[in-house]
C-alpha cells in the first residue's frame, strides 16, 4: 500500500499540535525541516526515506552557507541547526512506526555531536546602561522602559512577554505565564518593573487588550480597522537593539541575552539551580546548568578570597 508523503506530513503535524501539545511555532519549524528534506530527497512515499537519502541530506546541510541561517556567521550551517532537521525527521519516523507504516527506523538517525553551548552575556554595568535608556515621559519611552524592566525582572522569553495582556494585577508580586510546551509557571515582578508598567498603562489612552502595543502615528487608524497592534517578538528585539546602541554597548544584545542576565544575576547572588530552572521554565535542569559556566568567575573570586594560601 502506497502512502502520499504530503498527506502523512500534514497528519503528523496535526498530531504534533493536538496530541503532543506542541506550540504552533514548533509545528511550523517541523513543517519547514521536513519539507526541506522531502524536497531535497525527492521523497514521495515513506519507503523513499533510506540511509542513503539521509546521508546525502546531511552532506547537503553541512555544505550550506551559514550566512543564510538567521544570526549565523559566514561558514557552514551550525551542527545544532543541522540537528533540528534530524530531530524533526526522527519524530516523523516514530509517528510512522506508531501507525505501522513501513519506513526507516528512527533509531537509524544519529544526531551530530555538538560542543558545549556558548552563551553571550553582558556585564551588570552594560545592563544598567541599557535599562536606563528610555528616559522620557512620552508613551513610547514609558512603554520601552516597562518592556526592559519586565524582561530583566521576570526572565520571560520574548514570545511570553508579547503574550501578556494589560489586565496584569500589579497589586501582586507575581504572575502566571503559559510558556513552552503549554506549561504554566510563576514569574516574579520587582517593584521597579511594576512601577514602570503602571506609569506606562496610566499614559495609555486606548482600550486594546495587549500589554505592549505599537505607538506609531498609524495606531489610531489600525484601531479603527480592528487591526492587531500588539508588539511582535521582532519589534521588541528592535527596541532592545535601539537602547543597546544608545547605551554605547558594542555587543549584539537581544531579549534572550537579558534573560541570560536574569539567570546569572540570580545564581551569582546565591540562588540554587533548581529554583532558577523553575523561574526560567526549563524542562530539563541540564539546560539551566549552562549558566554555571558564566558564574565560574564568581566562584573563582570566592576561592581567591577565602581559601587559605600556603606561605
DSSP symbols for 77-136: PPHHHHHHHHHHHHHHHHHHHHTT-----GGG--PPP--PPP-----HHHHHHHHT----
CA proximity to 262, closest of 234, 288, 285: 288
- List, by residue number, the catalytic residues: 157, 180, 256, 259, 282, 291
DSSP symbols for 35-88: HHHHHHHT--SGGG--HHHHHHHHHHHHTSBGGGSTTPPSSBPPHHHHHHHHHH
Task: Give the C-alpha separation, 278 to 276, whole Å.
Answer: 5
By the 8 A CB rule, do 130 and 240 touch?
Answer: yes
**Which residue is listed with cell 498530531?**
15
CA proximity to 80, closest of 127, 113, 47, 124: 113
By the 8 A CB rule, do 211 and 164 touch?
Answer: yes
Amino acid at each position: 500500500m502506497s502512502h502520499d508523503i504530503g498527506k502523512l506530513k500534514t497528519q503528523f503535524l496535526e498530531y504534533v499540535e493536538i496530541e503532543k501539545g506542541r506550540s504552533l511555532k514548533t509545528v511550523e519549524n517541523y513543517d519547514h525541516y521536513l519539507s526541506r528534506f522531502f524536497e531535497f530527497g525527492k521523497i514521495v512515499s515513506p519507503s523513499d526515506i533510506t540511509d542513503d537519502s539521509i546521508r546525502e541530506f546531511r552532506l547537503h546541510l553541512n555544505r550550506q552557507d551559514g550566512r543564510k541561517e538567521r544570526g549565523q556567521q559566514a561558514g557552514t550551517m551550525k551542527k545544532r541547526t543541522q540537528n533540528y532537521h534530524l530531530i524533526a525527521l526522527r519524530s516523523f519516523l516514530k509517528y510512522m512506526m506508531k501507525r505501522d507504516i513501513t519506513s526507516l527506523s528512527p533509531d537509524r538517525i544519529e544526531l551530530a555531536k555538538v560542543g558545549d553551548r556558548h552563551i553571550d552575556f553582558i556585564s551588570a554595568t552594560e545592563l544598567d546602561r541599557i535599562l536606563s535608556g528610555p528616559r522620557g515621559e512620552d508613551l513610547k519611552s514609558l512603554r520601552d522602559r516597562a518592556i526592559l524592566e519586565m524582561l530583566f525582572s521576570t526572565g520571560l522569553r520574548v514570545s511570553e512577554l508579547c503574550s501578556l495582556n494589560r489586565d496584569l494585577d500589579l497589586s501582586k508580586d507575581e504572575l502566571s505565564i503559559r510558556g513552552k510546551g503549554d506549561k504554566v509557571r510563576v514569574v516574579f515582578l520587582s517593584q521597579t518593573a511594576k512601577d514602570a508598567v503602571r506609569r506606562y498603562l496610566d499614559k495609555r489612552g486606548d482600550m486594546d487588550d495587549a500589554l505592549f502595543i505599537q505607538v506609531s502615528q498609524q495606531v489610531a487608524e489600525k484601531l479603527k480597522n480592528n487591526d492587531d497592534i500588539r508588539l511582535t517578538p521582532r519589534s521588541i528585539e528592535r527596541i532592545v537593539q535601539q537602547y543597546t546602541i544608545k547605551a554605547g554597548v558594542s555587543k549584539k544584545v537581544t531579549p534572550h541575552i537579558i534573560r541570560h542576565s536574569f539567570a546569572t544575576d540570580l545564581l551569582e547572588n546565591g540562588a540554587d539551580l533548581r529554583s532558577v530552572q523553575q523561574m526560567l521554565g526549563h524542562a530539563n535542569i541540564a539546560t539551566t546548568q549552562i549558566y554555571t559556566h558564566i558564574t565560574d568567575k564568581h566562584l573563582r573570586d570566592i576561592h581567591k578570597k577565602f581559601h587559605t594560601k600556603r606561605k
